Amino acid sequence: MMKAALLGYGTVGGGVDRIIQERDDIRITRILEKYPKPEIADRVARDMDEIVADPEIDIVIELLGGVHPAFEFVKAALEAGKHVVTANKALVSAYCKELTALAEEHGVAFRCTPAVGGGIPWLHNLARCRRVDEIREVRGIMNGTTNFILHTMLSGTAFEDALKTAQELGFAEADPTADIDGWDIRRKLVISAAVAFDLLAKEEEIPMFGIRTITAQDIANFRTLGRTCKLMAYGTKSKNGVSAYVEPTLLLPNEPEASVPANYNTISLDGKLNGIQSFYGQGTGRFPTAANVVSDCLDILAGERDFYAKPVPASVDNSDAKHAYYVRTAHRDAFLTGNCVTEGNGFVITKDISVDEMHRWAKEKAASDPALFFAAIR
């Protein structure tokens, strides 16, 4: 039997404990929790040192979130020869190189399947496809919160009201910044690119624009264009390396991502041999995410030790990525006028513009027009 320590007993942590209690091959013997509940009092650890020093603990499950002290705790566990499973995309995105090197050095496993896609076994299957196929592109809806908001707004609901509903249902945090501004999906793209392309990119290298400034009028405008908006992540192999970016995208009705409802995700890969394969499921939720955590533990129990890939530091190159954009701004300027192809009710449609150029202009423009919104038309 594998004995585990659980770091964090929140929504997902409680779900993991519930699932494992019904199994006879894993047992959680220690729980590190700042505000322990009475039902786990007999398993609460005083501190991380107690877990590290316990020779009976084989695996540490990190569900604290955030980068610190999660990094220090995971580092200590790996150095102590304990396997680690985490759902913490911020941690993996920031410290993938250091943590995978530590795991290899100490002969233990470091797994993070639930960090991308919640309940979708995306990373596991992406790595499996990589064994025999060349991945040309990864793309998709990787954030259930923003998808829920955009889906809710289709009925005419204002952004603020859709966000409030998402928070009431537990799909969005009290501070939704990481979701609505794109930080969360960008971190998931960093990890996906590491597995798909061996690209160890820095978050700040990947252009990102979220949905904070989208309005009900924008949604109505999209309808007149015959399109639906989704916040999408793209990673594409190109002649210059790998292109990667995050931005709202206007999709045609026949595109599979266009009809993804509520808090669901769909993430796809395009392989040279297998073509397009898509993975669909809940991107948030207690038990979907917890199930992927436990699945990672079972992979380790079965002898899996290697990380999904062996990524190396490399730079993102978006020089080949160009497409048209929908842009809504209160103040036209020379850049927008010079790239305008057509215009509508308070918006313009541009000619093909490079991703880097568009994001750079929008970042500068937002200083004078914080309500600016744009979306790709691919």
Respond yes or no: is residue 188 known to be catalytic. yes
> Phi-psi region for residue 126, left (φ > 0), alpha (ψ -120 to 50) or beta?
alpha
Structure tokens at 356: 């880097």
Question: What is the four-CA torsion angle of 75, 77, 78, 84, rounded to 10 degrees?
Answer: -100
Catalytic member of 82, 89, 188, 237 = 188
* Residue in the structure block whose two tokens are 């499921």: 281
Coil, helix or strand for 213? coil
Question: Which amino acid, residue 24?
Answer: D
Report yes or no: 152 and 216 within 8 Å, Cβ to Cβ. Answer: no
CA–CA separation, 58 and 304 (whole Å): 14
Half-sphere exposure of 378 (CA within 13 A, CB side): 21
- In sequence order, what DSSP letters do the residues of 70-120 get, joined into one string? HHHHHHHHHHTT-EEEE--HHHHHHHHHHHHHHHHHTT--EE-GGGTTTTS
CA–CA separation, 272 and 322 (whole Å): 22
Report yes or no: 305 and 31 within 8 Å, Cβ to Cβ. Answer: no
Report yes or no: 103 and 110 within 8 Å, Cβ to Cβ. Answer: yes
Report yes or no: 144 and 188 within 8 Å, Cβ to Cβ. Answer: no
Report yes or no: 271 and 282 within 8 Å, Cβ to Cβ. Answer: no
Question: What is the four-CA torsion angle of 87, 92, 96, 98, rounded to 10 degrees?
Answer: -90
**Cross-strand pairs, 281:** 265
Question: Which residues are marked as active site?
Answer: 188
